[in-house]
Amino acid sequence: MLSVLIVNWNTRDLLRACLRSLRNYPSTEPMETIVVDNASSDGSAEMVRTEFPEAVLVASPTNTGYAKGNNLAFDRAKGERLLALNPDTEVLPGTLDAALRVLDAHPRIGTVAVRLVGTDGRTQRSVRGFPTVLNVLGDVLKIGDAYRLRRFDYDAEGPASQPMGTFLLFRREALASIGDPRRPFDETFPIFFNEVDLLKRLADAGWPALYTPQASLLHHGGESTKQVRKAMIWESHRSLVRYLKKHRGTGLGALALPFVAAALNLAAFVRARGRHEGFRPPL
């Protein structure tokens, strides 16, 4: 079975289009859809309840954040293949089956990511390298391309360290190898870098990710986070610092971490035009 898992916050109309696309272009294998609504104020939960009764709705009374929302969905999932899907997307004819075929063809791949296509018809840049202190510093100084991967070939299937979390098709066996597959996301990364952390842990355990252009997905992009831009700027920068601390290792990178963290905090201050506490999930 394929479990499609969606975490939503205040993107009702996009979520409707996403669910409609899943209804119109389902997988040929048994499929379930689970929607976790993070206390939306735009009627998202009621829309799912009335228009898509085939979907399992988890209506959270509070905004738990993306990581915990995903864990709520994964906890209810029955499938051996689990698709974390953003609500600002629409699957196209054959998207799901093509991605499943790629996963089945590579038994040691833990995650499959697909081509993301914007509303302008262009392929979106969606793959980066795992962030390290040194390659993030190089990115800030515009030295090297180990983090942004600007020359990544989106027309070729191949390894992808860190695909965007927009569409991530996981193998339950891989998730079970690094912990509880019902709660795979580290909730200390509530909004950003939780999928990067998960992909890193999977790769370290011998379950890397694979990008394929054989399947495509329409992606509108970032509609939830745009609603609270200043908070999300700070949350993004702080989560990157948390990630670098968690996976810093030793050597020169560890020594440079305080300087990189300071630079990232300064960048957040400039971009957001002031300080903000970021996202704080309810206790």
User: What tens digit of pLDDT does each residue of 232-248 get?
Assistant: 887 888 899 999 999 98
Q: For residues 106 and 6, state if they share a domain.
A: yes
Question: What are residue 7's DSSP bridge partners?
Answer: 36
Instruction: Report the distance separating Cα 206 and Cα 150, nearest Å.
Output: 25
Q: For residues 21 and 90, state if they share a domain.
A: yes
User: What tens digit of pLDDT does each residue of 132-151 get?
Assistant: 998 988 888 888 899 999 99
Let me know the angle formed at the C-alpha of 17 by 14 and 22, rounded to the nearest 5 degrees: 130
User: What tens digit of pLDDT does each residue of 79-136 get?
Assistant: 999 999 999 999 999 999 999 999 999 999 999 999 999 999 999 999 999 999 989 8
Q: pTM here?
A: 0.92
Residue 276's pLDDT band, with cuts at 50, 70 and 90, is low
Phi, psi of 194 (to 5 degrees): -70, -40
Q: Domain for residue 68, yes or no?
A: yes
- Decide if 146 contacts 135 (C-beta within 8 A): yes
| Host domain of residue 259 | 226-272
Domain count, the chain: 2
Instruction: Report the distance separating Cα 194 and Cα 171, nearest Å.
Output: 17
Q: Cα 31 from chain centroid?
A: 20
Q: For residues 256 and 122, state if they share a domain.
A: no
